[in-house]
Every structure is written in structure tokens, then in C-alpha cells.
Structure 1
């Protein structure tokens, strides 16, 4: 009996130790989970503190869903960084609307379509939907969904309760801490409440000579005989446009790359771009009230080196000029300056 009793004592001690260990591990985890859930760093959970939230996460794929469902807005811009400098306040004045700019750095066409779907789900009858078209919309081959940047698909679906199973991780805890500091006005938001941020260096420090060094045409393959291009992402664009009500004005535009980045004549890139342009023109024509403007042409904007920081990113003054051109194109007016070609006028508006 004594031998049996003595052998059971260490087992009981180990069991007590494990219970205490689990308790000490569970309590901090529960506190961290409650903190994340109540602070709700991305403003996407059904139950959280009723406080004003800011955009605290650098990756716009996390920050923008909160803005996409904000009822203050009735219009939206989606695209990549080549559309990010369109200032919502200027667009509001030009279009008589309330814009959010939800253009994502290096956003794939699939990611842009998810963000647009979220916006239109929360705003069933938007006033204006604007899509900036660049190389992501003209990639041929299999559909590229994601980039190395994480994409939180749970934020874009129709079930916000799913988020409670996604937030117990170090990244969410870190972002909840940033959000708490922002709520206390101890930290600055990453982007404005309308999604806008000037991500370029101070324009006063613009160095024309340095910028010009990047404005060099990249190598290009020669044109091919009867090339075949597939653009699976175009089905996403057609689907999103078809889902818009007739009252919504849709404005599509090829962004103004510097001429050094535009496809050169006699190259495979030119053939691909022409096929892409023709396909998107057909999509735009199929939906009444849709305007399609092409700023990706040799023009007074794109020929001037001093308009650009690099081949893709123009300066602030050009962003304002682009916005004015988009407003004119949306009314069916050609460009007096030659800044764009109106490929599809907005028939029906």
C-alpha cells in the first residue's frame, strides 16, 4: 500500500502543475483576445467598443474594408498606387459626390474586384464607381489573385462573425495596440478617413535629374505572329459593372504611365496592350452609362519627364489635372489638351 501511495503522489503533483500551467497560459490569452475583439483594430467585428477608429495598418488590404462599408461615402475609386493620388475632396467637388479612394499598392485585379464588391454590397446604389486600369488589368495568362502582401479574405465576405476566429494572433494584437493609441490620439493614422494619403516625397524636394534616370524604356520582346492573349480578370470587371444599378455612373480609365513605360510599337507588349484595350472597350460599351478614357497614351502629360517621380507615379499637380480630365470624360467631353482619348462615351447619362 505504501509503495502505491508514494507512486501516485508525483503523478498528482504533475497534474496540478499542468493545470496551473494551462491556467496561467489561458488567462493572458483570454485577456489578449478580449482586448483585440473590443478594440477591433480594423472596424470589421459585429461587437466592439463604439469608438471612432482610424486606419492604422500599412497594408491597405486590412485598412480599407472599414472605409468601404462607411455610410458617409456614396462613390469610390479603386485601382493601384497609380490611382492613389486622386484626392477625394477634389472628386467630391467635380462629381457632386462623396468619394473614398480605396486604391491599393500593387493590388491585383482580383483584389480590386473584392474591394469593389464589398463597397457595392454596403452601398447598393453608388453615385460614381471609378476604376483605374493599369498593367494588373492587362496581364495575360492565369488569373493572379494575390501578392506577397497578406489578404484577409474574411473581411471581404458576407459573414463578419468569422472575424472572431481570425484575430487571435500576434499581428492582430499589434494592430489593436496601434488602434488603441490612435483612439487616445497618441498615434497618427496611416491614411485619411477617406482612404487618401500622399505617399510621395515632399514635392519641394523633387529632383528632376534623379527622376529622369528612371524614365528609361525596359527591354521588350518583338511582336509575334497572331499572338493569343487571355485576360481572365476581365470577367471580374464585367461582373462588377453588370452588378451596378443603372443610376450609377461608371468611369474606367487607363492610367497615365510615362511614355517610357508605355508599350513601344512593334513589340509583344504593344500587341498585348491593344488586345487588352479592345477587350475592355467591349466591356465598357456593354454597360450603359460607362465612360472609358485612355490616359495611357503619348500626351502632354506623359511626354513631360518633370511630371513624374518614376515611370508609374506622377506628381501631385498631375493628379489634380487627371481628376479634372476624368470629370470631363465622365460627361462625354474629349480632352482639349490631348491628355486622353475617350474610347467609350457615357451613353445613357
Structure 2
């Protein structure tokens, strides 16, 4: 008879059971430990988020918060819709330029002396009439009695279609409210963290700002890189020289929703503020051909703007959006909308003359001031 212990021995079975239970007990998670780990992870994440948010709010990359580190914040974002809301509130300025990229080549420093003012250039690439009106409101709330306002007018104001509010570029409505508190919501984003890092680098001298402190920056190539042949290849053909410039136009009450915004802006401008409305010099080949619906809409738009000026004494209206030595010459342009430095200087000179109340006669523009 065998002397070995049988596998069915109750004592051996008990030992195997005890070992299995011990193994399971060793591998089973400690519920208390898991709870402590989860609590610490959540607390660490919350503290990290709070520290990052506090950093963003303290740096205030766009200068739109009530409480922040005291420092002069230059615009740093490529999207001027974020960058200019704070600049429009700055007490360093008492005058402003509004418009699309057709106004961005105008230098505030070239206008300051003539207007006796301190200009900020708040023109934004591809800005809709609505976006421009919102920025205008921010500036006027911060500067109830500005010395001067210059508003550039182009196709976005003379649009007979439905009012377009936004473009594919993000527009932070919270930055444009009368209360600064909604802007704190915009600080909870990766974009805000990124821009806070950039602004911190600018404030500490580690990086140069993208825009000038008055909003102006050169966004076109340097003049020494101008290629006349390349520019001409991208310009539409000019109308035949014999084409008549007199065209029949529709009634002046042709619906143009953006002009309702402009009318509100004109009416809101204080009587003592020098207000200049400027139709910008679109290349002649890109202007509506005489006799077309596009030309008729443009003329109707101009009539409505002049009517607004009539309702506000002292408003100057200059029209560069016409056939002229500027708009006929291809070498004056980089593309159908953007003119070269010499043309910017001619526009600045006309605006400086308008600071005295009248720009006077010129082949470059028509003075439509009523």
C-alpha cells in the first residue's frame, strides 16, 4: 500500500485552498488605495488647471480683463478680432482707423499731427461690416469723445445681399461686451494658453510683438520685392478707354444691410469728433463695369453714404473708388485690393487735408462732402 499522501487528503485540499485565497487577497485591489489615487489625480489636475488659468488671466494676452498684471500689451494674435478688442480700449489713443485690409497700409503716425490726435489702426483683414461696427462700439465706449474717426469703405459695406456677420475666422463676442466679465470665459482654451505664453514672451523681452503698439504692421511684402509683371498677371483687365463712365443707377434706397450699421455708427459719433468716410481705391479693372448692376450698386451705395454725411454736419466723404490716375495704373497695386506704399502716402495726405474740414480737389479722388 502506497505511503504517499492522497490528493484527496482533506488537509492537503485545505492547504491549497488557503494558498489560493492568499493569492487572490494579494492581487485584489485595495478599494481605499484606489479612492486615494483617484482623489489625488483629480486634485492634481484641478490645481494644475487653476494654476494655468491664473497664469492666463494674469497675463491677459489680449488686454480685455478687469484684473491683470499692469503692463502695456501690444497686439500679438494673427487674428485681429482677438488682438484689437483690447487695443480699442487703450487710453493711449483718442482716434481710430476702421476698415478691412484696404485700410491696414495707413500709418497712424502719418495722421496724428494733422488731426492733433493719437491714432490706432484697428483695420482687420476681411472684416465684415458687423465686425467693424462691434469694434467701433468698443472704441467709442472707451473713448466717449474721440478726436477723430476714419472709416474705410469698400465692397463689404456696399453689399445688397443678406447681412454677413462673421467670416471663417473666430470672433470672440465676449471681448466686445460692455462688461469685462464674460471675457473670462475665453481664457479657458488652448488658444488662450498659447497666446498667453506668447504675450508673456513679449512682455519679458523674449519675443518681438507681431503688430505695432498702435495696431499698424506691414502685412504686404517689402517694396523691393515688388514684381510688376507678376502683379499685372493677377489683375483683371481694364475696361476699354472709350467706355463711358456715366451709368444709370437704381434708387438711392436700394437695400444694403451693412449701411444700416454704418448709419448707426455715423449717428453715434459725437458732434465734436472729426469723422472721415473714405471709399478705398479698388483697382479699376475690379470695379463694376459701366452699365452693369455692380456699378449701379456702387453708385447707390455712395449716394446713401453722402446722405448720412448730410445728416451729420462736419462729416467728410472722400471717394477713391473711381476711375483715377491711381486706379488705372497696374503698377500701383499688389493685387486688385491692395495698393503700394506710394499710394498709401497719397491717401494719408488726402486724409491730413481732410482734417482741416475739406480735402480739396484732386485727380486721385472726388470730395463728396456735402
State the TM-score, normalizing by the size of structure 2. 0.86
C-alpha distance in structure 2 between counterparts of 1:83 and 1:267, whole Å = 27
* Runs of 4+ more than 4 Å apart: 8-11, 223-229
Does 2:66 align with 1:46? Answer: yes
Q: Tell me which residue corresponds to 2:312.
A: 287
Q: In the alignment, is the contact (CA less than 8 A) between 1:329 and 1:342 conserved in 2?
A: no
Q: Give the deviation of 1:21 after TM superposition.
A: 2.2
Q: In the alignment, is the contact (CA less than 8 A) between 2:108 and 2:216 conserved in 1?
A: yes
Does 2:342 align with 1:322? Answer: no
Does 2:235 align with 1:215? Answer: yes
Over 3 Å counting, the alpha-carbon distance change for 1:154 and 1:218 in structure 2 is: farther
**Aligned counterpart in structure 1 of residue 103 of structure 2, from 80, 83, 86:** 83
Over the residues paired in the alignment, what is the CA RMSD in angstroms? 2.2
Q: Give the deviation of 1:145 after TM superposition.
A: 0.6
C-alpha distance in structure 1 between counterparts of 2:129 and 2:48, whole Å = 40
Residue range with higher mean Cα deviation, 23-32 or 177-186: 23-32
Q: Tell me which residue corresponds to 1:242.
A: 267
Q: In the alignment, is the contact (CA less than 8 A) between 2:97 and 2:120 conserved in 1?
A: yes
Deviation track 1:266-314 (CA, whole Å, cap 9, x = no partner) reads 2121121122112212112111111111100111111111111111000
Q: In the alignment, is the contact (CA less than 8 A) between 2:279 and 2:319 conserved in 1?
A: yes
SS at match of 1:55: coil
Q: In the alignment, is the contact (CA less than 8 A) between 2:249 and 2:299 conserved in 1?
A: no
Q: Tell me which residue corresponds to 1:128.
A: 148
Q: Tell me which residue corresponds to 1:177.
A: 197
**Runs (5+) with no aligned partner, structure 2:** 1-20, 240-246
Q: In the alignment, is the contact (CA less than 8 A) between 1:325 and 1:335 conserved in 2?
A: no
SS at match of 1:190: coil
Alignment of 1:107-118 (within 5 A): 107-118=127-138
Q: In the alignment, is the contact (CA less than 8 A) between 1:328 and 1:335 conserved in 2?
A: no
Deviation track 1:169-202 (CA, whole Å, cap 9, x = no partner) reads 1000000000010011111111111110111101
Q: Give the deviation of 1:326 after TM superposition.
A: 2.0
**Aligned counterpart in structure 2 of residue 308 of structure 1, from 333, 337, 347:** 333
Q: Tell me which residue corresponds to 1:299.
A: 324
Over 3 Å counting, the alpha-carbon distance change for 1:117 and 1:226 in structure 2 is: closer
Q: Whose Rg is larger? A: 2
Alignment of 1:52-201 (within 5 A): 52-201=72-221
State the TM-score, normalizing by the size of structure 1. 0.91
SS at match of 1:154: helix
**Aligned counterpart in structure 1 of residue 298 of structure 2, from 240, 262, 273:** 273
Q: Tell me which residue corresponds to 1:32.
A: 52
Q: How many residues align?
A: 336
